[in-house]
């Protein structure tokens, strides 16, 4: 198959499909971190190139529910363009969802698209695929079956609970101290990438 992995610079999903013989390409504004077929640029400009499958990871900064507090009036001076940024993010997500590709999977954290677009077909966790981390991830699917879980981790994911009572995966909290935290948090877990390639390829 001819596979497009939209908004990916790690090459993780692309490489999982390539190892199984598919003509797999990643596309992102950033260069690829690993060697492989990569288009550096705006993915919206290459949606009409005869892809059989697209797996998309649109930026979630303005789409997640965890960022809703920054839309409160008291933060308007600090983030004056946030509402417009969210509108742009929604349009980008919908452009990918409506792309002229027969089979599509869109991946994103829990966020506003469950209301503005539709509920996801599936919500998965890395620990359902053999990792020990928790990262609730929504999948919106077109002409693709839900992923089957395998090698489910027997270890309990580690969470950090804040004074407010809010709970967050510890690996995610620790990544906040990194200069490239957005990059670390956005990566697809390897076993999930392999599951996509094995089950959708």
pLDDT at residue number 166: 74
pLDDT at residue number 184: 47
Question: What is the set of domains in the chain, with CATH numbers?
Answer: 2-200 (3.40.50)
Placement of tokens 């983030």 in the chain: 79
User: Widest CA span of the chain, in angstroms?
Assistant: 52
Look at residues 143, 150, 196, 200 and name the one whose alpha carbon lies nearest to residue 12: 196
pLDDT at residue number 98: 98
Retrieve residue 201's tokens.
């390829």
pLDDT at residue number 171: 57
| Ranges of the chain with pLDDT below 50 | 181, 184
pLDDT at residue number 174: 65
Look at residues 157, 151, 148, 185 and name the one whose alpha carbon lies nearest to residue 57: 185
pLDDT at residue number 148: 96
pLDDT at residue number 197: 98
CA-based end-to-end distance of the chain: 7
Look at residues 39, 8, 35 and name the one whose alpha carbon lies nearest to residue 19: 35
Q: What is the pTM of this model?
A: 0.85
Placement of tokens 């797999």 in the chain: 24
């Amino acid at each position: 198959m001819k596979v497009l992995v939209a908004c990916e610079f790690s090459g993780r999903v692309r490489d999982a499909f390539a190892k199984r013989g598919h003509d797999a390409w990643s596309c992102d504004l950033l260069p690829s971190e690993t060697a492989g077929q990569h288009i550096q640029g705006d993915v919206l400009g290459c949606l009409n190139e005869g892809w059989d499958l697209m797996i998309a990871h649109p930026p979630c900064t303005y789409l997640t529910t965890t960022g809703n507090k920054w839309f409160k009036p008291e933060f308007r001076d600090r983030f004056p363009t946030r509402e417009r940024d969210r509108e742009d993010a929604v349009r980008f997500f919908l452009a990918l969802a409506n792309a002229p590709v027969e089979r599509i999977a869109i991946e994103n954290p829990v966020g506003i698209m469950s209301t503005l677009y539709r509920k996801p077909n599936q919500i998965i966790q890395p620990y359902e695929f053999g990792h020990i981390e928790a990262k609730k991830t929504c999948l919106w699917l077109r002409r693709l079956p839900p992923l089957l879980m395998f090698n489910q981790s027997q270890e309990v994911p580690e969470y950090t609970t804040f004074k407010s009572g809010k709970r967050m995966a510890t690996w995610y909290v620790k990544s906040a101290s990194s200069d490239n935290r957005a990059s670390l948090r956005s990566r697809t877990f390897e076993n999930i990438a392999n599951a996509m390639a094995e089950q959708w390829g």
